[in-house]
Amino acid sequence: VQWSPFFENKLAVAASSNFGLVGNGRLYLLAVGGGPEGIMAERVYDTQDGLFDLAWSEVNENQLVTSSGDGSIKMWDVTLADFPIQNWQEHQREVFSVEWNLITKDVFSSGSWDHTVKIWNPQAPRSLQTYTEHTHCVYSTAWSPYNPSMLASASGDQTVKIWDTKSPRSIQTIHAHNNEILSVDWNKYQDNTFVTGSVDCTIKVWDMRRPDRELICLPGHEYAVRRVKCSPHRPNVVASAAYDMSVRFWDTAAPVGNNLMGVHDPHTEFVLGVDFNLYVEGQVASCAWDESVHVFVPPALLRR
């Protein structure tokens, strides 16, 4: 689930049938505040294989890319009714994540179960770069909001690797958890800081300059943490979505032990996605295997 970087009321959701194991996928474009339920589907696109992730274009308000279980990456234009406008088929396995560069805005990254990270330009027929150092599935990639050529990747090999697209090899490797790392995101206000979420049920905050140990470890989830997101509005707020069916909100500046700000737990299945609205401070969207999307403002995020 991802909010549009251009419109405060547009939301895109990538979906798969049968928990992404087998069967079709679907891309939903939703208007928040558009129907009796408060959310209305504006467009729906069907795909032959499950969709695992999506990323809105940072340059064209009508375009986005999706990553799929068949190894493909597709680009869509929401002004067109039926088919993707571009289709890349390079990855050998499921593509678990796509992420658009927030600064240069002209490239995006992908992470795959084939252990690779790839860099793409929407205008190019093939990937620009492929990184092959991970020894397990790459579950998540994230571009630095400060350095236009830097990105992080999180893998089942228990490491986060930092890449500079000017370099053919990773510039840093951090053994961040003693289990698979499913998600990574950069702090939008502190240029060396990023957050990880793992199968070990914890969220960790890291400073690249001190890679030997985390700044903070946030326990509390009962099952694997599937997604972490740093707030675009507050430097100390992190959201996490997990297989314990909850979304949790954390204050990384609070005294240790008092970091949990709030829990959103009406979902009845694994929560796979969470995102902050850039334009409406405190508004969050989450999506889960219960086939529902929640749009809400957690009480903890109302400005005190």
Question: Could you read off the pLDDT of 185-204 as tens digits, one per residue?
Answer: 999 999 999 999 999 999 99
| pLDDT of amino acid 111 | 98
| pLDDT of amino acid 304 | 53
| pLDDT of amino acid 22 | 55
User: Is 243 part of a structural domain of the chain?
Assistant: yes
User: Is 33 part of a structural domain of the chain?
Assistant: no
What CATH number has the domain bearing residue 107? 2.130.10.10
What is d(CA 221, CA 213) in angstroms, rounded to the nearest whole number?
21
- pLDDT, one tens digit per residue, over 26-79 is 999 999 986 666 889 999 999 989 999 999 999 999 999 999 999 999 999 999
Count: domains in the chain: 1
| pLDDT of amino acid 24 | 87
Rounded to an integer, the average pLDDT of 249-272 is: 95
| pLDDT of amino acid 81 | 82
User: Is 226 part of a structural domain of the chain?
Assistant: yes
Domain that holds residue 144: 57-301
> CB of 16 within 8 A of CB of 25?
yes
User: Is 286 part of a structural domain of the chain?
Assistant: yes
Question: In DSSP terms, which residues pair with 56 in a beta bridge?
Answer: 64
User: Is 16 part of a structural domain of the chain?
Assistant: no
Q: How confident is the model at residue 21 (pLDDT cuts 50, 70, 90)?
A: low
What is d(CA 270, CA 278) in angstroms, rounded to the nearest whole number?
25
Contacts for 257 with CB less than 8 Å, ≥ 6 apart? none
Rounded to an integer, the average pLDDT of 136-155 is: 97
> CB of 299 within 8 A of CB of 258?
no
> CB of 51 within 8 A of CB of 16?
yes
Does 303 have pLDDT greater than 90? no
Percentage of the chain with pLDDT > 70? 96
Query: What phi, psi does 40 have (nearest 5°)?
Result: -125, 140
User: Is 13 part of a structural domain of the chain?
Assistant: no
- pLDDT, one tens digit per residue, over 198-230 is 999 999 999 999 999 999 999 999 999 999 999
Q: How confident is the model at residue 148 (pLDDT cuts 50, 70, 90)?
A: very high
| pLDDT of amino acid 166 | 96
Does 172 have pLDDT greater than 70? yes
User: Is 29 part of a structural domain of the chain?
Assistant: no
Task: Beginning with the edge strand found earlier in the chain, give each strand of the sheet holding 193-198 in spatial order.
Answer: 181-186, 193-198, 203-207, 216-218
Query: What phi, psi does 190 have (nearest 5°)?
Result: -125, 110
Does 19 have pLDDT greater than 70? no
User: Is 288 part of a structural domain of the chain?
Assistant: yes
Tell me, what amino acid is at 171? I
